[in-house]
Structure formats: C-alpha cells, structure tokens
Structure 1
Amino acid sequence: MPDSVSSKNGIAGLSMLKLLMLFGLLPTLIVSCVLVIVSGTIISGSLSEQYDEQVDVIDAQFNTYVQQLYENVGESFFTKPDKDYTYVDSFKNENVELTVFIGDTRAMTSLKDSSGKRIEGTKASDEVIKTVIQSGKTYESKNATVNGEKYYVHYAPIKLNSGEIVGMTFAGKKASLIEDDIKVAIIKLIIAAVILAVIFVVVIYFMSKVIRKALELIANSLQKIASGDLESSIEIPSKIKENKKMVDALTNVQGMLSDSIGKVKSVTDDLSKGIDRVEASSSESASAAGQIENAVEELSSMAQHMAENVSNVNGNVSDMDVTVNDISEKITMLADNSDNMDRASSAAADCMQKVLSSNKISADAVESINKQILLTNESINKINDAITLIIGVASRTKLLSLNASIEAARAGEAGKGFAVVAQNISQLSEQSNDSAATIREIAAEMLENSSETVKLAEGIMETMSNEHQSINDAQNRFSELNDAIRDSIEKIKEIDTKTETLKSIGVEIVGSVEELSALSEENAARNQEVNGNISNIVVSIENIANNMSKMKKLKETLTDATSVFK
C-alpha cells in the first residue's frame, strides 16, 4: 500500500510557489493594465479640460487687457509699425499663443510661420467671424486648425464701453502638447505599475516560500504515516494559524492511529498465542486418540481370542458326554484354557483401565480446547473494539478533512493548497476506514470458525462422556467375566476330586460357557462401538486442526495488515 501511495503522489503538477506566483502575478498585471488604461483616459480628459480652461482664462485676461488698452490708446497701438509684443509673447513659456484681431484681420500676434515671421494681416475663418464679431459671442474649439496645426482655441469679442465690437482676441495652445503630456503620464504610470508588480512578486515569493515550507513538512509527515511510520515526531514550525491547526490535527491523527494499531497488534499477539496453545492441545488429543484406538484394537483381538477359547471349552464339554475315559485329559485342557481365560480377562481389564485413562486425557484436552476457543472469542471481541476505535478515528479524520475543505473554500484562490492537503487527509481517512472494514470481516470469519469449533468440542465432550459410560459398563462385564472364570476354575478342581458328579458339573460348565459366549459377543459389539466412537473423535480432532489452520491463516492476514505500522 505505501508504494501505491507514493506512485500517486508522484503525479506531475504545479508547485505551491509557481501556483501562488501565477495567481498573484496575473491579477496584478491585469489590474495594472486596467489602471494604466483607465488612468490614461482620466488623465487625457483631465489634461484636455485643463488645456481648455487655461486657454479660456488667459484669453479672458488678455481680452480685458486689450479692451482697456484700446479704450485708452486707440487702434494705433496694435497697427503701428513698431509694436510692443511684450504682452502677447509673455505666455510663450506656457505654450499659449495670443492674437489681437482688429475687425476680422490679425493685427498683433505671437504666432510665427516656419521662417520665424509673425503671421499678421490674415483673416480668421468665416465661422469664427460670424460667431464672435457678428454675433458678439465667444468661440471655443478643441480641434481648430491654425497655421496648419491643431489647437485648443478661444475667441472673445473686443467690446468697447459703448457696446461697439471692434475686433476680437485669440488664445490657443497646440493639441500635440497634450499628447506628449499624456505619453509622459502613462509612462510614469507604467513604471509605477511595474515597480508595484515587482514589489508584489517579491512579497508573494517570500510568503509562498513560508507557506510552501510548512505544507511540504506536513506532506512529508503524512507520507511517513501513509508508509506506516507512526513513531516519528511531528515538529512543523509555522506562524500561520491554519497551518498550526493542520499540524495539531495531524499530530492527533498520528497518536490515535498509533494507539489503535498498538491495540490491534497486542490482540493479534494474544490470538497467535491462543492458536499455538490450541494447536498443541489438538496434537496431544490426536496422540491420545491414537493410543485409545490401539488399545481398543488390542482389546478386540483379546476378545476374539477369548471367543475361540470359549468355543474350545464348549467342544470339550460335548466330548465329555461322548467319552468319560478322556475326562482327565479334558479337565487338564479345561484347566489350561481357564488359566488362559483368566490371563486374558486380566489383560482385558488392564486395557479397559488404559482406555478409561486415555478417555480422561481426551476429555481434559477437549475441555482445554474449549477454553482456548473461548479465549480466542474474547480476543476477537477486543479486535472488534479496536476496529470500532479505528472507524471512529477515520470518521473524525474525515470531519477534519471536511472542515479543512470548507476553510480552503472560504479562503478562495489562496486556499487551494489547503484543499489539496484536505483531500489527502480525506483519502487517508477512507483508506483507514477500508482497512478497518477488512479487519472486521476477518474477525467475523474468525468468530464464525471459532463458534463452529466450540460446537465440535462440545459434541466431542458429549461423545466421550458416553464412551466413558460404555467403558465402565464393559469393565463391569469384564469383572463379572473374571468372577465366572474363577468360578470355572474352582468347578474344574471339584471335577478333579469328584468325578461322580461329572455330569452335573458338566451341565454347570455348559451353562457358564454359554454365558461366557454371550458376554464375549456383547464385548465384541461394545468394542466395535468404542472403535467407531474413537474414529469419530479422530475425525473431530482433525476438523479442529483444520479450523486451527484457518485461524492461523486469518491471524497471519491480520498480522500482515498491521505489520506496515511501526
């Protein structure tokens, strides 16, 4: 899983520095361009109004001066050869040209042609003459052509105190000058915008480095957690409030994951020990069952041998009815057979005692298995508690991711980096939730297998209890058989001393032999039943071993799932 996470994180993309520079520089450039355009438009309009107002004011002053001069000196001041151009040339430093019209003809002006000669003796345009001289009104224009160039112009009539209009005054300023002023102003604005953009870029660069450093440290810490390292300390210095919240949240997530994984590993260790103990108990039970099976086979062989001896005794008794001469020999044979039966009965009693001991060992082993399985169930319940804790941690991590996404959305463009981190935390939460679900499924399967094993163990205990009762019954039968054999031996001794009562004793022997035969047949049937029960025990123990193998695989799967975490 860590490798897949690393490969996903290796996808190429914009760095935080480039992203912040891009989103910081583009708006700055756009705003700068808009400001330059808008400011250029405003400055152009403002300068145009300023030029127009300047021409109006100067022409008004000039008109008052000419009117007073005309009233005091007369027309000759403006038409004489040696004119005084001091006043009309006084506004040259402000780039304003002045002209005095006597009638509709230029009499005195500051305008000069390309040769440096003053432009005098020419007339104004018909439109100006009609508006100013004939109508007595002022004339203004921002696009008038004077001497082949565009001017801001203002014409005012020279009106005497008597009301007579004797001419007009002119004030004008070249329109090309405003274009130069606008260019200078725009260049200054562009320079200021570039300086501000550079300052803004430098500020963004250093701010983005500070933000990026904290985010890189957070991403590295998340990568360590994703790779299973829960021991490394998280120390990320940052003066940004949101980064501090993210670091605190990351530290809490690491702590909760470490506690949860530690509990899961502890439960896994306990489960492993329990499985080992159950496997050992299963091996001991299988060994004890094998011993019981061998003992039962030996007991069956002895019972068969006993049946053969009983058959021989029965034949000897029949021969006793045929010939009395062989009675001594037959009695000797009967005595030998009785001794053999006594030894066989004792051996059978010993085997039954061994069967009882083995049955007790098997019962104890099955009870131990049952206890171990119950301990395993408790361990599985602990695993479920740990899984619930992991799911709670994943839910809280998901909630933290959602809060981080909301904060990132509120932050707008500058919060996109936080949205990426929130998305990584969300993915980590989903991965934790999926792992917890997988562990819960494994625990459920283990609990189901363990329950089946408990049922099998209870069935084995019940079967062994029945076997114990059957073996006790068989032992009682062997005790009765032993008594009968001893009684037969005593009867044979009486026959040896009291031959006259041979027939009556023979009848008693026949009855005893018939009873012994019935007991032998019953003993053989019991042996077959015990043998079948032992086979069932072996099968049950094999099932327990198989279930233990499954539980061991589940334990290994759980160990592998948590081995990546330190």
Structure 2
Amino acid sequence: MNNQEINKTQGKKANTMHSLKMKIFLLVFIAIIFAIGLCLLMIVPKSKSNLETVIENYMKDITVVEGENLDRELASEGADTVLSAEALQVDLKGISISGMPSSYAYIFSGTDGTMLYHPTADKIGLPVENAAAKQLLTEIGEGKKPEPSVIEYEFKGKQKYAAYYIGNEAAFVLIITADGDEVFASLNETTNYSLIGALILILVCSVFTFVITSLMFRPIGVITRVINKISDMDFRENDDQKHMLKQKDETGIMGHAVNTLRLELIDIAKQIKGKSQELYESSEALSTGTSETVTAVEQVENAITEIAKGATSQAQETQSASENVVLMGNMIEEANTEVENLRTNARAMRDAGNSAVTILEELGQINQQTKAAMEVIYKQTNVTNESAQKIKEATEIITDIAEETNLLSLNASIEAARAGEQGRGFAVVAAQIQKLAEQSNESARQIEAIINTLIEESEKSVDTMKNVKEVIDKQDVNVTNTQDAFNKVKDGIDRSVEGIREIAKRTAGLDEARIKVVDIVQNLTAIAEENAASTEETSASAEEVNAVISNIAANANNLHEIAVSLEDCVKMFIIE
C-alpha cells in the first residue's frame, strides 16, 4: 500500500481523541472541573476561617465562665479550699468541648507555674511543660495580665488550641485545650462530602455533555460517511444521503451541497470514461505502428554500424601502423643518437682506462719505493731499540757504582768521626763524595726512566712498522690485481668500440627502410580515414532517424500507458 492509499485510509475515520465531539466534551468537562475547583478553593478556606473563629470564641467563653466562677469561690471560701486538688477535680473534671474527646481543662499557679490540677494525676504538683503556659508565666512575671484569649501551640508533635483565663491577682491560670485535628474534624468531613458531591456532579455533567454532543454531531458523522463514499469513487445514492437532505439546519445545507457535488462528479466521470476509451484505441494503434518502424530502422542502423565499425577499425589500424612506424623512426633516430653517445663514451672510457693503467703503474713503483723505505725504517728502529738496551745496562752499572761510592763515603765519615779533630778534613771530603754519589745515583735513575720510556716507544714503533709493512704488502698485491683488471677492461672497451661501429652501420640501413614504409602507410591512412568519415556520416544520419522514431515510439508507449492508467482510474467510478 503506497503513502497515498495509507493517507486516504487514515482520512476516512477521525481518531476519537481528535474528533470535534471529544474536543467539545473535554472543553465542557474541564470547565466543570474548573468551576467546581474554584468554588471549593473559595468556600473551604472561608469556612475554615469562620469555623476556627466560632470554636475559639466557644472555647474562650467556656474558659471565662469557669474562671469567673473560680474567682467568686476564691473570694468567698479562700484559696486553700478552692484551689485544692480535690476541689478542683470536682469543679473541672467534667469541663470539655462538646464533640472533641481530646479536650480537657487544667489549672496551674500563676506565681510559680505549679500544676494545681490536671486530668493526669501524675502531673499535679509539677511545673507546667508546654511553651504556651510558660509564655503566660513570663508575661505574669513581668507584671502583665493577658486578657482571656485562644492561642495555638505544638505539644509533642501535635497542633493544639488552648483558651486561657488568668484569675484575680494571678492566683491561678485556667486553660482548656483541644487537638487541632478535632477542632477541624467537622470541616474536613464537610470538605470530603463536598468533594464526593463534586465528583458526582462532574460524572452527571459528563454523561449529559456526552449525550448532547453525540446528538449534535450525529448529522456530521452522516455527512462524513457520504463524503468518504464519494472519495472512494462511489457515487451511488443511499439512505444516509436521503436522511441528510431532510435536515433543516446547517447540516441539511451541507447535505444538499454534497449531493450537488455527487451529481456533477457523475457527469464528469461519464465523459472521462468515453474519452478514455477513444484514447486507449488510438494509442494502441500508434504504439503498434511505431514499434514496426523502430524495428526496421534498427536493422538499417545495425548494417550501417557494422560498415562504420569496419571502416573505423581499418582507419584506426592504419593510423596505429603509421604511428608505430613513426615511433619506430623516432626510436631509430634516438638509437643513432645513443650509438653516437655510446661511441663517445667508449672513447672516453678507453682514454680513462689508459690513464688508469698508467697511474696504476706509477702507483706500483711508488708502493715499491715505500716498501723499501719502510724496511730501512724498520731496521733502524730495531737498532735504536738495541742501543737503548745497552744504555740501560750502562746506567745500571753507574747506579751500582754510585751506591758503592755512597757506602764508602759513609764508612769514611764514620772513621773520620773516630779520628776526632784530625779526621775533620777527611770527613768534609767524605761528605762531598757522598753528595756526588747521591747526585750520580739520582741522575742514573732519571736516565734509566728516560731509557725505559724510549725502549717502550721503540717497541711500539717496531710493532707499528710491522703493521705498516703488512699493509704495504697487501696494498702492493691489490695494486697488481687492479692493474690486471684494468688491462682486461681496456681490452673489453676496445671490443665494444668495434661493436658500436657495426651497430651504427646497421641503424643507418634500418632508417632508410623506415622512411619508405612511412610513405606507404601514410597513403593507406588517408584512404582509410576517408572511408571512415563517410560511414560515420551515414551512421550518424541513421542514428538521428532511429532517435526520432524511438522518441515517437516512447511517446506512443507512454501515451498507451496513460490510456491504460486512465482506463483503470475510470473503472474506479461507481455510478450505478
């Protein structure tokens, strides 16, 4: 099912929640709820305020009456008698507010706050606990005497109302208290009844509104069904239409308009049905004729196309051959150029090879001279090393002599000391000899250190000369091998030069043959291009004719399809 059919199906029947009947019903329903809610919001708070005032006045009046009675009894009988627990129990036990079981009366001293009477006997004699009583005691202590009134306070989580009366000279404070829940119990009950009544009223009004709206919109439903039938192309008259025409209100006017539309559509459908049949027959004949013409033109076009393909292929192949020959000629010319470059490079390589051979011969001679020089240096280094060893041995002998001389001078000094004054001159000579011996010994040590360093460096030079000698030997071998390799390269270059000369001769002959082939191929290309151009013009004309005929055939087919679609649409009309 397409989108148009889905939208058509959905439009035949309105959703209940979106219908006019439901909208009016909801509007009236909301208006009723709003009116009732507004009344409750205005009446309940006012009733609560009035009830609160009445109850407070009632509690205050009871408290004042009982308090004044106690004042009179105090004046006549005295405090000890009247304010005793037993007397107060008799006077206050039955005092409460009608309809409030939680209400009770208690009395405490206005001077110290001691509980004189309380329905709970355990609290008698104890200080008062609630904040309201303490506030009254504070004001009495400040010399004030509050007038009888009603106060609100919270005691153990409950909201309470209390009416108080302060006796003469603050001898006592009488309080009658009740829970806030019981104070407004009657109001809450009245409110609940009001809500129940409001719900019943809403229900009744809703039913009444639903019935009225159903009656109001029934003719509109009839008109909707008639229009849905017309949208389904069903133009037949039925009982709903007859009933609709009898209406005297706006729906009757709408019914007459819809009926007029139905009759006009019937006439239009009959005319379309007749014309669609004629269009269908004409399109059928046109489609058949154009199909035969298209077939014939396609056969002619195919034949011309094959001829054009052959001519075009011949021209392309000839052109390709011409291009290949030209390309071959370019390649031959490039080959000539490269052969000439190769000849030049070969000559340069031969010259470079000759130079390299000469340089290698000179390098071999230099390497032999270096080898001979290194041999001489190696021998001289060994001789230097041997001489250093001999100098070291001589230095050791000098060191030994210096040490012996030092010992002899020491002995001479000892003997001179024994000789006393006579040996003093000899002692001076012995000291000088000892000093010279020590200097000789120190010089010998320095010479020995230098000789040791010289020997170490000489040994290193000997090792280095050995390594250099080995490297030069390897270099001599490599130079010889390189010289042999360059001789072989020189021979190869000479052979390459001869081959390049032969290639140049063959390339020149190939270029002459290429020029002759190019002339022949160019003539063939010109002939093939003329044939291809002629066949292409013929093929283009055939294609234009085929395109025109195909366009006519396509339009004929489209016209035939339109006629078929129109015929199908006409079949949707239900007239009888």
TM-score w.r.t. the length of structure 1 is 0.38
TM-score w.r.t. the length of structure 2 is 0.38
